[in-house]
């Protein structure tokens, strides 16, 4: 750093010697904004090349819930502002990464309870408390995750304090460097990351939040990512059931630029057309994603056409999607009538057909959710509180919803037990054990026992090329997962189904149930079911409409 840079830093460090509530909120908003800018970078860091819960989206929605809670809060007490932030994050937490992020805010808020302004020592103490709270909140902490990054961040803050740091800015600068190093080291701590060739997504999200704060403090931009990666447009689906005005069409354009493109001016031109702008760069291609008003869906295409050669265009009617969602919501499910004192089940369903199955089996409440649309802790809590009984069982039916369900259970004053169902077949198996008049403990014990009797196979398409468990797959190829482990990759759906069932030792089972998804026709599903029946003549084969997105087929083998 030259002499002028040193003087500038010293001036900024003096400005951030203490931080009041107003400045904290500016830093928090900056962290949220930078995470939003880099959201798709975090989303792409899936260990498996599958449509997943989207870590970046879950962390951003958690941050937005936290910000919404505190945005209107007045006063200059940093302690009160943090309490509001922590409460908003806790209620809005989505996915495992979002829940852990909410725990980090909760610990930070506890450490600064009653504090009006935060000095360097309080900042370090808050980061240490955030780390401790997050680790306590996870039953079996795994290193090489966002937890590890929080640990290294807290250690860096403590070390900076010991080395004489007296400004929050000095602490923050060392914390960001430590977070960056910790994220890059995650594959050395977690073998599955090393095999997949990615760093931990949750840790990367935390890094972007902290880096956004530092960039804001030092006057750097927050609207253009420092680097981008190729992004599958099918992962850019909205996770909320509403579309803002002017977002009638989603337009994605792949093009080969004629010359180097200056991202700032390119983005500025797009900003005049619409919102939700995402720019991704591949080896020699650029991908532009935008939401635009009706009657202007072709403007971004013409804009990109002037800058290069278009190779692919994807246009989707978002308003039509909303109409379909509303129509689906309007078709009332016949949920079980729950009486006070009875045991009731709250279940998450990833498709309308699966929701219908759960309702017919006696679910008292059903929450829409699953891959790419993890429900928040607040949504789960609302379903719990709306039931007229104090004995509730929650079935998350997705591995990335379990922690949000557990957080909702802790927030409720009712007797709530979470049965950790990791898939829809496990949730349906658990529902067979529901008896409204048995004790809560007996029902939970029966459900937990039933989980071990079910194997789940899922067929989807690879969102990127990768080699997992020694199995190479290419983007767009059909892949099969058996209880979350990749077991096959092929070009043919029937072949993938048979390979998955072979790995599941389906010939020793009694029943194979096929839940066909939203992108598969009934005729196609029947043809695959017939093929499976011919291969497994001794097993009973059932075909059920699940309607789940992204996954053409989900199998229950029991």
Could you tell me the CATH number of the domain that includes residue 101? 1.25.40.340
Query: pLDDT at position 221, please?
Result: 84
Identify whether residues 21 and 43 lie together within a single domain. yes
Helix/strand/coil (H, E, C) string of 39-60?
HHHHHCCCCCCCCCCCHHHHHH
Cβ 121 vs Cβ 146: under 8 Å: no
Domain final position from 217, 251, 285: 217
Q: Give a yes or no: residue 228 inside a domain.
A: no
Write down the pLDDT at residue 437.
Answer: 84
Residues 142 and 52 in one domain: yes
Tell me: do 158 and 199 sit in the same domain: yes
pLDDT number for residue 226 = 61
In this structure, the number of other CB atoms found within 10 A of the CB of residue 411 comes to 17
Who's near 224: CB < 8 A, 6+ residues apart? 37, 263, 264, 267
Question: Which residues, in sequence order, are bridge partners of residue 461?
Answer: 478
275 within 8 A of 243, measured Cβ to Cβ: no
Whether residues 255 and 271 fall in one domain: yes
Q: Is the domain of 445 the same as that of 296?
A: no
Residues 402 and 515 in one domain: no
Greatest distance between any 2 Cα atoms in the chain: 81
In terms of Cα–Cα distance, which of 164, 163, 168, 183 is closest to 112?
Answer: 168
Phi, psi dihedrals of residue 511, rounded to the nearest 5°: -135, 135
- Asked whether residue 362 falls in the same domain as residue 485, the answer is no
Helix (H, G, I), strand (E, B) or coil at 429: helix
User: Is 146 a member of any domain?
Assistant: yes
402 in the same domain as 382: yes
Q: Is residue 283 part of a domain?
A: yes
Question: Which residues of the chain are under the pLDDT cut of 70?
Answer: 1-5, 48-53, 72-76, 224-247, 276, 278, 280-283, 318-332
The range of the structural domain enclosing residue 112 comes to 3-217
pLDDT of residue 17: 93
Report CA dihedral (99, 318, 228, 258) to the nearest 10 degrees: 180
Tokens 């010359």 belong to 259
Q: Residue 499 gets which letter from DSSP?
A: H
- Structural element, H or E, at residue 257: strand 249-257
554: β partners = 458, 515
- Measured CA to CA, the distance from residue 68 to residue 70 in angstroms comes to 6
Out of 217, 251, 269, a domain closes at: 217
Claim to verify: residue 494 and residue 365 sit in the same structural domain: no
Asked if residue 49 belongs to a domain, the reply is yes
Q: Are residues 283 and 371 in the same domain?
A: no
Instruction: Give the domain CATH number at 462.
Output: 3.30.1180
Say what the pLDDT of residue 77 is.
86
CATH number for the domain that contains residue 429: 3.40.50.510
Vertex 370: Cα angle to 40 and 331 (nearest 5): 120
For residue 512, what are the β-bridge partners?
541, 557
Give me the number of domains the chain comprises.
4
382 & 272 share domain: no
Alpha carbons 348 and 384: distance in angstroms, whole number: 12
Residue 227 lies in a domain: no
**Residue 104 maps to a domain:** yes
Q: Is 377 found in the same domain as 237?
A: no
The pTM score is 0.74
Residue 311 belongs to a domain with what CATH number? 3.30.70
**Is residue 120 in some structural domain?**
yes
DSSP annotation of 506:
G
Is 413 within the bounds of a domain? Answer: yes
Give the end of a domain, one of 451, 478, 496. 451
Q: How far apart are CA 405 and CA 412, in angstroms?
A: 11
């Amino acid at each position: 750093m030259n002499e002028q840079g040193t003087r500038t830093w010293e001036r900024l460090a003096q400005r951030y010697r203490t931080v009041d509530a107003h400045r904290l909120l500016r830093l928090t908003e900056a962290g949220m904004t930078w995470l939003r800018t880099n959201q798709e970078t975090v989303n792409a860091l899936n260990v498996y090349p599958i449509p997943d819960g989207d870590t970046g989206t879950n962390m951003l929605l958690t941050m937005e819930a936290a910000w919404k809670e505190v945005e209107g809060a007045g006063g200059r007490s940093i302690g009160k502002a943090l309490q509001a932030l922590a409460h908003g994050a806790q209620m809005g937490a989505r996915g495992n990464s979002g829940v852990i992020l909410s725990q980090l805010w909760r610990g930070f808020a506890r450490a600064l309870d009653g504090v009006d302004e935060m000095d360097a020592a309080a900042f370090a103490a808050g980061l240490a408390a955030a780390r401790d709270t997050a680790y306590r909140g996870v039953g079996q902490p795994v290193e090489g995750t966002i937890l590890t990054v929080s640990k290294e961040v807290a250690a860096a803050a403590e070390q900076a304090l010991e080395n004489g740091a007296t400004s929050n800015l000095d602490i923050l600068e060392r914390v960001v460097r430590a977070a960056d190093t910790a994220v890059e080291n995650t594959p050395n701590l977690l073998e599955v990351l090393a095999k997949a060739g990615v760093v931990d997504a949750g840790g990367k999200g935390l890094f972007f939040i902290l880096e956004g704060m530092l960039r804001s403090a030092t006057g750097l931009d927050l609207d253009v990512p420092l680097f981008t990666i190729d992004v599958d447009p099918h992962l850019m689906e909205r996770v909320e059931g509403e579309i803002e005005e002017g977002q009638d069409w989603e337009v994605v354009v792949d093009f080969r630029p004629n010359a180097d493109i200056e991202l700032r001016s390119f983005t500025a031109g797009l900003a005049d057309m619409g919102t939700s702008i995402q720019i991704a760069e591949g080896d020699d291609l650029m991908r532009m994603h935008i939401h635009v008003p009706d009657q202007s869906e072709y403007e971004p295409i013409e804009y990109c056409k002037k800058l290069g050669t278009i190779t692919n265009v994807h246009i989707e009617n978002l308003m039509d999607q909303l109409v379909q969602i509303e129509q689906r919501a309007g078709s009332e499910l016949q949920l079980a009538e729950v009486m006070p004192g009875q045991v009731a089940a709250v279940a998450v369903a990833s498709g309308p057909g699966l929701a219908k199955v759960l309702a017919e089996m006696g679910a008292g409440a059903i929450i829409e959710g699953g891959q790419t649309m993890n429900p928040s802790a607040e949504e789960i809590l609302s379903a719990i509180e709306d039931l007229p009984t104090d004995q509730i069982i929650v079935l998350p039916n997705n591995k990335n919803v379990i922690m949000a369900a557990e957080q909702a259970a802790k927030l409720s004053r009712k007797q709530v037990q979470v049965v950790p169902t990791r898939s829809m077949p496990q949730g349906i198996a658990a529902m067979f054990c529901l008896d409204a008049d048995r004790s809560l403990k007996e029902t939970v014990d029966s459900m937990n026992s039933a989980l071990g009797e079910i194997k789940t196979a899922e067929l989807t398409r690879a969102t990127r090329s990768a080699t997992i468990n020694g199995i190479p797959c290419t983007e767009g190829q059909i892949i099969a997962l058996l209880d979350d482990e990749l077991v096959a990759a092929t070009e043919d759906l029937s072949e993938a189904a048979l390979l998955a069932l072979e790995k599941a030792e389906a010939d020793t089972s009694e029943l194979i149930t096929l839940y066909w998804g939203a992108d598969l026709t009934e005729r196609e599903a029947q043809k695959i079911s017939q093929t499976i029946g011919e291969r497994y003549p001794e097993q009973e084969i059932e075909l059920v409409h699940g309607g789940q997105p992204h996954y053409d087929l989900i199998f229950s083998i029991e």
